[in-house]
Amino acid sequence: MENDMRSIGEMARDSGLGVSALRFYDRAGVLVPAWVAPDSGYRWYGAGQLEEARILARLRRAGMPLADIRLVLAGWSGAETGLVRRLLDAHLRRLEQGLSDARDAFSALRPLLDDRENPMTSPLDTAVRLSADAPEMAAALDAVRFAVGADPELPMLDGVLLDIEGGGVRTVATDRYRMAVGRFRAAGHEGGRTQVVVPTPLVDAARALLRGGGEVRLSVDGRRMVLEAGDRQVAGDCLGGEFPDYRRLLPVPGARRALVDVAAFREALEAGPVRPGEAGGPDVSVLRVGDDSTVTVCPHEDDGPDRVGVNRGFLLEALAAGARDRLFLEAGAPTNPIAIRRPDDEEGFSILMPVRLED
C-alpha cells in the first residue's frame, strides 16, 4: 500500500465528511475507496480522492441531490468541465427559484401574522402563587431540559415553558427538532390558565435549589419568577415572546408502540449501523416498530417502506431523560414524529422529528 493513502479516519478529518458519511457514500457508489483491506474491510483512500471528498462535502451542504453529485464527480474526474458547470448552474437556479417562492409565501403570511399577534407569554395581570413537591418538580424539569433550544434567532425557545392550569404545571421545551413535556402537581392556584417561559439559566438555578427536597413555593408576578425552599430562593425575569402551542405538536394517535428495555436499546443504538442525514447532517439511526410491538435498528441494506430515520444523539438523550428502565417508543409513518413515553406517566413524553433518509 502506498504511503500517500489515507485511512477513513484521516479522510474524515481532512475532508469534513464524517466516518459514517464516508461509509454511506461508499455503499452508494458516490465515493468508493481506492483500496479495502480484505481481512478487516478497512477503507483506504488515494491522495487524489481528498479533493473529490471536499467537493462532495460542499455539494451536500448546498443540498444537491446524490444523483447529480455522482455526475459532478464523474465529470470532475474526467475533466468534463462543461458538464460540471451545467449541473452546478442548474442546481443554483433551483435554489434561487426555491428562495424566490419562499419569499413570496412569507410575504403573504406576514400580514396575517400581524393581524393574529397576541403573545401567549405577555406579562401577567395578576400574581400566581402555588406550592409543589421539590422532587416532583425537579423530575419534570429534568424530563425536558435536554430539549431546550439555543438558536439566537429564536430566543423564546431558550427556556422551559411553565403551563399552569388547575392542579398541575406542565413543563415544555423544544428546539424545533424535538420536544419534551413533563408535569408536576401544584396546590394553591385557583385562577385560569397561565403560561410563562423560564430562561435556561433560571431553570438550572431552580433545579439546583430543588435538590433539598420537601415543599417549595413558586410565584410569578408580571414576568418575575421566584422559587423558594425554606429560607433559600432563586429569582429572575421570564422571557418575552410567543412560545409555540405545544398541544398542536402532540404525538399522532395510532402509531405502532413497542416497550423497550432502555439499557439494551441504548446498546443496540450505540453499536448499530448509522447513516448520515440530509446535507451531511448528524448520525441517523433507522428504526422499524413492527406490528408485533418490537423495535429494530435496521441495517443499511434494509430499504423497507416503514423505516423511520431519527437523530441518534437526540434519541439517546431522550432515553436518558425518560429516567426509566423501560420506555414506550411509538412510530408511525416515516414523516411522523417519534414519541418516547414512560409506562407509568402517559402525560410526560418526548417527541423527535424524523430525519429524511437518503434514497
Q: List, for residues 69-114, the tens digit of each pLDDT value.
A: 989 988 887 777 888 899 999 999 999 998 888 888 888 787 777 6
CATH class of 128-247: alpha beta
* Portion of the chain with pLDDT greater than 70, in percent: 90
Cell of 326: 423501560
Which residue, 80, 91, 35, 243, is CA-closest to 159?
243
Q: What is the pLDDT of residue 116?
A: 62
- Write out pLDDT tens, residues 176-195: 999 999 999 999 887 788 89
Interhelix angle 312-322/262-271, nearest 10 degrees:
160
Domain with CATH 1.10.1660.10 in the chain: 6-91
Give the CATH fold of the 6-91 domain: Multidrug-efflux Transporter Regulator; Chain: A; Domain 2 (1.10.1660)
Q: What is the pLDDT of residue 300?
A: 64
Q: What is the pLDDT of residue 280?
A: 57
pTM of the model: 0.73
- Mean pLDDT, the chain, as a whole number? 86
- Write out pLDDT tens, residues 104-143: 888 878 777 766 655 444 455 668 899 999 999 999 999 9
Q: Which CATH superfamily is domain 250-352 in?
A: DNA Polymerase III, subunit A, domain 2 (3.10.150.10)
Q: Is the pLDDT of residue 200 over 80?
A: yes
Determine whether 138 is exposed, middle or buried from the number of CB atoms within 10 Å of its CB (0-12, 13-18, 19+): buried
Interhelix angle 19-27/8-15, nearest 10 degrees:
110
- Write out pLDDT tens, residues 203-224: 999 999 999 889 999 999 888 9
Q: What is the pLDDT of residue 1?
A: 47
Asked which of 49-53, 116-120, 153-157, 249-253 is least confident by mean pLDDT, the reply is 116-120
Q: What is the pLDDT of residue 278?
A: 56
Q: Is the pLDDT of residue 144 over 50?
A: yes
Domain with CATH 3.10.150.10 in the chain: 128-247, 250-352
In whole angstroms, what is the distance from residue 330 CA to residue 309 CA? 13
